[in-house]
Structure 1
Amino acid sequence: MSELSDQSVESDSLTPKQRLEPPNSRLINAGIVTIHDMETLRACVAYENANQGRIQILRRLEQQASDIRSQED
Structure 2
Amino acid sequence: MSGGLRMIRKLDQPPKDFADLPLVLSISQVAQVLNLGRDTTYGLIRSGHIRSVRVGRQYRVPKTAVAEYLSA
TM-score with structure 1 setting the length? 0.27
Tell me which protein shows more helix as a share of its residues.
1
TM-score with structure 2 setting the length? 0.27
Question: If you compute each CA radius of gyration, which structure gives the higher value, 1 or 2?
Answer: 1
